Every structure is written in C-alpha cells, then in structure tokens.
C-alpha cells in the first residue's frame, strides 16, 4: 500500500522481510554445503566451505541492507511526490483519482466521492512536507536484514563445526535446513492467510529447487 505520509509501520521489519532474508541466507548456505565433496573432504576443505558460506552471506547481507535503505528512501520520495500532486491538482476529480490510486484497490472501489473529497481537504491542510530522508528505524532495519542473512547461515554450518565425519555433518545440516525451510513456509502461510503446512511443504520443495538452480548456474 502506498501512503501519502512518510510514516511507516511500527515494525522495523515486517514478517515478509524477515522470512525472505532467512530464506535467502539458507539458500546461499546450502549452495556451499551441498557442493562439498563429503567423501574426500578434509579439514581444509570443510574450513574453506565454512568461511566461504559465512563470508558470502555477510557480503550479501550488507548488499541487501543497502538496497533496503535505497528502497525506503525511494518510497518516501514517491509518497511526497504523490502528496504534492494531489494537493496541486486544480480539478478535484483528478485529485480524487490520485488519492484512490494510493489506496488498496478494494478499499478505493467502495469509497464514495464524498469521502475522497474529505481526504483531499485533509491533505490540503497538511504542512508542506520536507524532502525524503532516512530515519533511525530505517538504519535499524538495514542492520537487521544484514544480521538475518548472516546468522541464518549458522544453523547450516554448525554441524560441520561439531561433527568430525563430513558425511554425517552434511546429513544433519540438510535436516536442519529442511526444518528451517518448513518453518519459514509455515510462518509465511500464517502471514499470508494460506494453509501453513501446505505452504511449509511447498517452501521445502521450492527451496530445494532454488538451491539446485544456484548450484547448476555456479552460484
């Protein structure tokens, strides 16, 4: 939903942001663990894999955090532009259209013109907005995204730190990954209002397919 105000949700990160970052971290970590030759892997190979997985997810966490900040800045700028356009529209009907476009389609379809006019008058009373800027909550959200991407690697790689047998460690790591994919899908189903267990199983299948694609393409 696009809002004229630059105020965002009280949550620093919404559930979809958190779930998607954990999924991304899982998939990236699995591209490392699943390509490890467990039959011939020695301590050096396992160590290289561990540092590679952690370093990759840390790098991508930083990149995702930066993209998150750019998206927030762009969102605030577009909101200000929409507000100014609605306030400066000489034709009330055009202003009503701009306001309706900023609302969820279902809500906009049932709002009478009178209500849109009340909203237009309210927007005219607002002070002139300042330029877009990032807030402390935006920076916290960026840091949160980076940490989610990085720390989601640890459940996958910890078995290789604790278990000397690389083949057994891989099996335990894959079991943990499946459980995490199932949990992410279950939570996503709850958030989206869909059947949680169906979504959880689908997430396991989709996650496995994405890992396969990443490995096949050299990711």
Cβ-based burial of 95 (10 A; exposed 0-12, middle 13-18, buried ≥19): buried
- Which tokens belong to 120? 């237009």
Q: What is the pLDDT of residues 25-52, one digit of tens each?
A: 888 888 888 776 554 456 767 778 888 8
Mean pLDDT of 129-133: 86
pTM: 0.76
Q: What is the pLDDT of residues 189-200, one digit of tens each?
A: 988 888 999 999
Q: CB count, 10 Å around CB of 99?
A: 23
Angstrom distance (rounded) from CA 77 to CA 129: 10
- Which tokens belong to 148? 């989610």
């Amino acid at each position: 939903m696009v809002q004229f105000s630059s105020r965002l949700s009280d949550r620093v990160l919404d559930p979809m942001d958190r779930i998607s970052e954990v999924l991304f971290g899982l998939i990236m970590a699995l591209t490392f663990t699943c390509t490890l030759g467990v039959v011939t892997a020695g301590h050096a190979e396992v160590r290289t894999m561990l540092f590679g997985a952690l370093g990759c997810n840390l790098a991508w966490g930083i990149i995702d955090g930066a993209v998150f900040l750019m998206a927030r800045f762009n969102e605030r700028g577009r909101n200000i532009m929409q507000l100014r356009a609605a306030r400066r529209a000489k034709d009330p009907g055009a202003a009503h259209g701009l306001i309706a476009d900023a609302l969820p389609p279902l809500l906009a379809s049932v709002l009478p013109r009178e209500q849109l006019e009340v909203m237009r008058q309210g927007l005219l009373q607002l002070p002139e907005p300042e330029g877009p800027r990032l807030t402390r909550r935006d920076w916290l959200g960026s840091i949160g995204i980076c940490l989610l991407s990085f720390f989601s690697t640890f459940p996958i790689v910890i078995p290789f730190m604790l278990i000397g047998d690389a083949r057994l460690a891989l099996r335990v790591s894959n079991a943990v990954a499946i459980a995490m994919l199932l949990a992410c899908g279950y939570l996503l189903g709850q958030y989206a209002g869909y059947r949680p267990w169906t979504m959880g199983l689908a997430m396991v299948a989709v996650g496995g397919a994405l890992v396969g694609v990443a490995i096949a393409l050299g990711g």
